[in-house]
Structure 1
Amino acid sequence: MLRKIREILALVFFVSITLLFLDFTGTIHTWLGWMAKIQFMPALFAVNTLVLVFLFLLTLIFGRVYCSVICPLGVMQDVISRISGMRKKKKNRFTYSVAYFYLRNIVLAIFIAAFFLGAGSVVALLSPYSSYGRIASNLLAPVWQLGNNVLAYFAERADSYAFYSTEVWIKSLPTFIIALVTFVVIFVLAWRNGRTYCNTICPVGTILGYVSRFSFFRIKIDSDKCKNCRLCSKQCKASCIDIKNHNVDYTRCVSCMNCLDSCKHGAIHYEFRFHGKKKDENGKEEFKTVETDNSRRTFLTTAVAVAAGSALKAQEMKVDGGLAKIIDKKVPKRNTPILPPGALSKNSFAKKCTGCQLCVSVCPNQVLRPSTDLMKLMQPEMSYEKGYCRPECTKCSEVCPTGAINLISMADKASTQIGHAVFIMENCVAVKDNVNCGNCERHCPTGAITMIHSKAGDKTSPQIPSVNVERCIGCGACENLCPSRPFSAIYVEGHERHRMI
């Protein structure tokens, strides 16, 4: 029964968290966004004391159930391991192995050093939640979006707008490669040996493992009843049951309960650590299994809301009047990257962001993408080749679980200056082709752009934009909608520290 409960809860968390990364509408976050915020790493970076205390108490009482129920990367390994067992037709394929304490502690030391030194790239690589986020957003999301586009294609021909198509594209090739390599490594380890990654590399598993050593409820082996059949150790995907010495390595045990069902002699129990031991008629210690009070057990139920309804595409058409093909824009070289409103500053964002890609997944305007800079690799930054940051959208601040992007209102966003526009005269079509354009002025939501004659005093000269940097908020509407190709005649330069205007 305990194993079934654990598997049901694990499946609910795994599917729900996966949907958070697949849902490009951001609707599911209204219902399930809290699941991202109770992950260990996001809570640590957000200094969410309440969640951290809850997770430590949960581990102290029940052992590493976080790793086997809440952590999506841990559950993914269980799924892969289960499929491997079915494929090989081997139910009892694991064996006990000694713990690699040195490797675990070295990885943990590297993680702690990177955390305090602000090395976001290293932290992002080691964080289990972020690793799964990259796998879901880079490998699973494109498949999900293609399936959505197929449904949208047929729905449109049936005069239904329950679905709308979305563009499928690789937002960052380095991040895609890292996600692919991470998935392959974890897949191979889980396929062959179950929880190897969790118990040798994952810093969260190491931290919770130290707490789990003192857990109140734990697996215990009755040496008098044990027949040394090794069925329990062959079912243990954490390879932590030393049946020869009747010991369990509680730093690696994830409380999956598989061993309980495998034992045919009643020699393994999940029981309270400090309960009094009674003796039978022969003077031997009698093991009692603690019965679970159903009145105190809470079953998690989840209602997943599927986004429905028509939506207007934010992107512009790829052809001009159906005649001339428009060349794709190229990313301009920015001296300072553009960070989303709510990030406050470059330093604050770099210290708190774990590169989980959740904000990138839900951005409806496709302006957020993982950075390719080595020092902040996989952390999101903004670019306006495919859209611009619309003042009415605050999706990224709503879903960020670490506090790297603070929750911001639409009114505050419209007043937050994340950058300012810079005009490049030699790229402007008005100068090159001697025509009037004014596209940047018409679409500026803050009225920060006015058109002036390119030659002072000559009213016949073409008009060019003049930017009021005090009013510009850096939304990128001018850059995105500029007709110049391949580089816009006006682009946004980011600010290291955001300010209200």
Structure 2
Amino acid sequence: MLRKIRIVAATICFTLITLLFLDFTGTLHLWFGWLAKIQFLPAVLALNVGVVAFLVILTLLFGRVYCSVICPLGVFQDIVSWISGKRKKNQFRYSPAISWLRYSMLALFIVALLAGFTAIAALIAPYSAYGRIASNLFAPLYQWGNNLLAYFAERIDSYAFYSTDVWLKSIPTFIIALVTFVSLIILAWKNGRTYCNTICPVGTVLGLLSRFSLFRPVIDTTKCNGCQSCARNCKASCIDAKNHIIDYSRCVACMDCIEKCRQGAIRYIPRRKTISESVEPAHEDKKENPRREFLSFAGLLAGTALLKAQEKKVDGGLAVIEDKKIPNRITPITPPGSLSASNIAQHCTACQLCISACPNQVLRPSGNLMTFMQPEMSYERGYCRPECTKCSEVCPTGAIRPITVAEKSSIQIGHAVWVKKNCIPLTDGVDCGNCARHCPVGAIQMVPFHGRHRHRGGRENSEQDKTIMIPVINTERCIGCGTCENLCPARPFSAIYVEGHEHHRII
């Protein structure tokens, strides 16, 4: 029964979290966005004391149920192991813990966070790793399926579905997601929860806590007949059936061993009701002091948390429009609500949830080494609409703080810069004013140009031939939304682009 309850709860959590990364309508986040915020690492980075306390208490009571129910990467590995088990029964076996690797990865993770190398930390963070897999590999398939339904619905005059653009936001991020996906499948197919118990920093921290959990699976030596069925079905490889020992730091409380034991020799009971003294690892490696390890790493984790606190391009089908190229910005643009480039770099785990949720296709993973895979804004495919606050609503770590529509209209994330040599009125001698007409805050005005200019045809004109109007930008009013850059008809580079600000300010 316990195993069935765990499977149902894990299936619901896994499905809903996956849909958060697939949903391009923005509706599911209103109902299930909290599932992203109860993930362990995002809660720590967001200094969400309530969630962290809940997860710690949950682990101290029931063991690592977080890893087998709430964590999407853990459930994904269980799915792979389950499929593998259909081909080969009793495929697992007990193996000693590789403690040096577990704690080395945890130390590397913490040092990377403290040193600001969040790209390294993001590579092994479980929730973020699954987020990249879902947004880069699963989301395109989901969107193509939606577009296929939209195609057939249109043929019967139905508008129940609408098509959406499917495009590759970042090649490096896609490659990393693909490598992670393949590696996890190989590890889970052969050895079950190897990743969770050797690489995952969250698994290591919760493993230290689960050594002291109140409820735990316990082996009754009076009933055990030594068949080792429990060990052969333990995907965490933590049951030493010969010595009747369970490594509770690696046990993910999946309850598979309880269901597989035909003798009823394993029960999930409170620790004080231990059936036999031999159940506790009395002859475990005496060099390890679980209590000391727990206190040291708990202190290290607390210190870490404290330090972290410090459009489509169409013209009616008459001609092909050249794609825009990304301008060479001196300072990258970070989303409204991120406060500053340093704040988002310190708190973001590169889970890609904000990128998946952006309805305007403005956010994409960064290619910069220091902010690798973290969200940056670029306006080749859309602009940041003043009424949209979706990224701030879905961010689970506090890297992008929640803001209102009114607040967003007053946050300056950058300012527009005019590039004279690209402006169409000067290059083609035609009226434009697209940037001024569409600026949502009225930061651009068209003024007469006094001076000579040369058309693309090579003829030099003076102001007497025709009054040329060019844009002038009021940088004090500009909020950096990118409307002007996106809607500028100049190709391949816009005649006006947004330069980011290191620190956002209120105007």
TM-score between both structures, scaled by the size of structure 2: 0.90
- Aligned residue for 1:316? 312
Partner of 1:497: 503
The aligned runs of 1:3-22 (5 Å cut-off) are: 3-22=3-22
Change (3 A) 1:381 1:276: closer
Residue in 2 that maps onto 1:334: 329
Match for residue 374 of structure 2? 379
SS in 1 for 2:379: coil
SS of the residue 2:222 aligns to? coil
The aligned counterpart of 2:30 is 30
SS at match of 2:50: helix
Amino acid of the residue matched to residue 453 of structure 1?
P
Matches of 2:375 and 2:432, distance apart in 1: 32
Question: How far did residue 147 of structure 1 move?
Answer: 0.5
1:9-32 alpha-carbon deviations (Å, 9 max, x no partner): 000000000000000111001110
Of 237, 247, 250, 1:249 maps to 247
The answer for the alignment partner of 1:291 in structure 2 is none
Deviations 1:80-129 (A, max 9, x none): 0111111x2x2211000010000000000000101111211012111100
Indicate whether 1:483 and 2:481 are aligned: no
Aligned-pair distance for 1:277?
Answer: 6.1
- 2:299 aligns to what? none
Q: Which amino acid aligns with 2:170?
A: S
Q: What is the total number of aligned residue pairs between the two structures?
A: 465
- Mapped to 1, the partners of 2:436 and 2:494 lie a distance apart of 14
Q: In 2, distance between residues paired with 1:202 and 1:359?
A: 23
State the 1:278 CA deviation: 10
In the TM superposition, what is the alpha-carbon distance from 1:276 to its structure 2 partner? 7.4
User: Is it true that 1:91 corresponds to 2:89 in the alignment?
Assistant: yes
Name the CA distance, whole Å, in 1 between partners of 2:275 and 2:266. 15
Letter in 2 for 1:342: G
Could you tell me how far 1:267 is from its partner in structure 2?
1.4
What is the aligned partner in structure 2 of residue 466 from structure 1? 472
- Residues 462 and 216 (structure 1), Cα distance of their counterparts in 2 relative to 1, 3 Å cut: same
The match for 2:199 is: 201
5+ residue gaps in structure 2?
280-310, 452-461
Are 2:129 and 2:177, in contact at CA under 8 Å, matched by a contact in 1? yes
- Name the CA distance, whole Å, in 2 between partners of 1:316 and 1:163: 18
Aligned residue number for residue 183 of structure 1: 181
Kindly provide the CA deviation profile for residues 63-86 of structure 1, in whole angstroms up to 9, marking residues without a partner as x: 000000000000000000111111
Given the alignment, which residue of 133, 145, 148 partners 1:147? Answer: 145
Q: Name structure 1 gaps, 5 residues minimum.
A: 286-314
Query: In the alignment, does 2:61 pair up with 1:66?
Result: no
CA 483–276 in structure 1, closer or farther in 2 if over 3 Å, else same:
closer
Using the TM superposition, name which of 449-458 and 224-233 deviates more: 449-458
Which residue number in structure 1 is paired with residue 57 of structure 2?
57
Name the aligned partner's letter for residue 265 of structure 2. A
Residue deviations 1:114-172 (CA, integer Å, cap 9, x gap): 11112110121111000000000000000000011111111222222221110000000
1:354 to 333, 349, 357: 349
Hey, what's the Cα distance between the residues in 2 that align with 1:353 and 1:161? 37
Whole-angstrom distance in 2 between the partners of 1:324 and 1:278:
80
Per mean C-alpha deviation after superposition, the further-off stretch among 428-437 and 106-115 is 428-437
Cα distance in 2 for partners of 1:40, 1:9 equals 17
The aligned counterpart of 1:403 is 398
Output the amino acid matched with 1:411. Answer: A
Take 2:73 and 2:505, find their aligned partners in 1: how far apart are those partners?
A: 37
Partner SS, residue 325 of structure 1: coil
Distance 2:147 2:262 in 1: 51
Partner of 2:42: 42
2:389 is equivalent to residue 394 of structure 1: yes
Structure 1, residues 193-250: CA drift from partner, whole Å, max 9, x if none? 1100000000000000000001100111122221111100001000000011110000
Taking the aligned partners of 2:205 and 2:171, their CA distance within structure 1 comes to 32
2-structure distance, mates of 1:247, 1:169? 51
Structure 2 partner of 1:275? 273
Q: Does 1:218 align with 2:216?
A: yes
List per-residue Cα deviations over 1:293-338 (Å, max 9, x = no partner): xxxxxxxxxxxxxxxxxxxxxx1342x2422210000001111111
Instruction: Tell me if structure 1 keeps the 8 A contact 2:220–2:275.
Output: no
**Does the CA contact (< 8 Å) of 2:218 and 2:274 recur in 1?**
no
Whole-angstrom distance in 2 between the partners of 1:468 and 1:278: 78
Alignment of 1:446-457 (within 5 A): 446-455=441-450
* Distance in 2 between residues matched to 1:158 and 1:31, nearest whole Å: 31
The correspondence of residues 90-129 of structure 1 with structure 2, limited to 5 A, is 90-129=88-127
Distance 1:323 1:278, change over 3 A: closer
CA distance in 2, matches of 1:100, 1:18: 31
Query: What is the rounded CA distance, in whole Å, between the counterparts of 1:188 and 1:455 in structure 2?
Result: 67
Equivalence for 1:439: 434
Q: 1:358 is matched by which residue type in structure 2? A: L
In percent, how many aligned pairs have the same letter?
Answer: 64
Out of 368, 371, 374, the position equivalent to 2:363 is 368
Which of residues 164, 173, 179 is equivalent to 2:162?
Answer: 164
Shift of 1:444: 0.5
Matches of 2:275 and 2:489, distance apart in 1: 80
Check conservation: 2:221, 2:276, Cα contact below 8 A.
no
Distance 1:219 1:276 in 2: 10
